[in-house]
Structure 1
Amino acid sequence: MNPIKRKKITMRDIADVLNLSVNAVSLALNDKVGVSEETRNLVIKTADEMGYFDENPSFIARNRLRNICLMVEERNFRDTHFYTKVILGIENEAKRNDYDILVNFMTSDKFEIPSSVERRKVSGVIVVGTIKDEHLEKLLKYDIPTVLVDHCSFTISTDAVLTQNMSGSYMATQYLIRKGHTQIGFFGEIDFSLSFKERWLGFNEAMRNAGLNVDPIFNVNPGYCVIGQVEQYVLSKNYKEVANIISKLDKLPTAWVCSNDSAAITLYNALNILGIKVPDDISVVGFDDIDICNIVTPHLTTIRVNKELMGIKAVKRLLWRMDNPKEPHDHIRMEVKLVVRESVKEIKN
Structure 2
Amino acid sequence: MKVSIRQQDIARHLGVSLGTVSQALRNSPQVSSEMRLEVQRAATELGYIYRPRENQQTDMTNLAFISGAQPNNFFYTGVLQGIEESCRERNITLHYSSLKDISQPDLQRYRANDGLLVAGYVDQRMVRELKNLGLPMVLVDTNLSHLGLERIEIENFGSTYQAVEYLAAAGHRNIAFLCAPPPSRFSSFDNRRGGYFSAMSDLGLEAFDIHGLTDPVLKTSEQVITRWLEQHGKPAFTALVCCNDEAAIGALLAFEHHGIQVPQDISIIGFDDIEMAQVVRPALTTFHVDRNFLGSLAVNQLVERFQQPDKPVASILLETSFVERASTRRLI
* TM bracket, shorter-chain basis: 0.7 to 0.9
Deviation of 1:198 after TM superposition, in Å, equals 0.5
The number of residue pairs the alignment matches comes to 294
Partner of 2:95: 102
Range 320-329 or range 134-143, more displaced:
320-329
| Pair 1:83-2:76 in alignment | yes
Equivalence for 2:214: 231
1:55 and 1:96 mapped to 2: Cα distance? 24
CA gap 1:192/1:133 in 2 versus in 1, 3 angstroms: closer
User: Cα deviation per residue 1:9-61 (whole Å; 9 max; x = unaligned)?
Assistant: xx94xxxxxxxxx5xxx7xx66xxxxxxxxxxxxx7xx69x943528975343
For structure 1, which runs of at least 5 residues remain unmatched after alignment?
Answer: 1-10, 13-21, 31-43, 215-221
Where do 1:129-168 residues align within 5 Å? 129-168=120-159
Residue 142 of structure 1: how far off its partner (Å): 1.1
In 1: Cα distance, 2:259 partner to 2:22 partner: 61
The 8 Å contact of residues 213 and 221 in structure 2, kept in 1 or not, is answered as no
Q: 1-side partners of 2:270 and 2:323: how far apart?
A: 10
Q: Pick the aligned partner of 1:247 from 230, 235, 246.
A: 230
> Within 2, Cα distance between the matches of 1:205 and 1:159?
27
> What's 1:5 paired with?
none
Deviation larger for 263-272 or 320-329: 320-329
The correspondence of residues 278-293 of structure 1 with structure 2, limited to 5 A, is: 278-293=262-277
* Structure 1 residue 232: Cα displacement: 3.7
Q: Structure 2 regions of 5+ residues with no counterpart?
A: 26-57
Q: Which has the larger radius of gyration?
A: 1
Helix, strand or coil for the counterpart of 1:276?
A: coil
- Identify the match of residue 246 of structure 2 among 262, 272, 284: 262
Structure 1 stretch displaced more, 278-287 or 318-327: 318-327
Report how far residue 237 of structure 1 moved.
5.3
CA distance, structure 2, for counterparts of residue 347 and residue 180 of structure 1: 5
Matched, 1:180 2:171: yes
- In structure 1, what is the Cα distance between the partners aligned to 2:217 and 2:15? 44
Structure 1 residue runs of 4+, over 6 Å off?
Answer: none
Structural RMSD (CA): 2.6
When normalised by structure 1's length, the TM-score is 0.77
Between the aligned partners of 1:239 and 1:55, the Cα distance in structure 2 is 47
Please, which of 208, 213, 227 is the counterpart of residue 201 of structure 2?
208
Alignment check: 8 A CA contact 1:104 1:114 kept: no
Aligned to 1:219: none
Q: Which amino acid aligns with 2:289?
A: V
CA distance in structure 1 between the partners assigned to 2:206 and 2:145 by the alignment: 26
Whether 1:195 and 2:195 are equivalent positions in the alignment is no
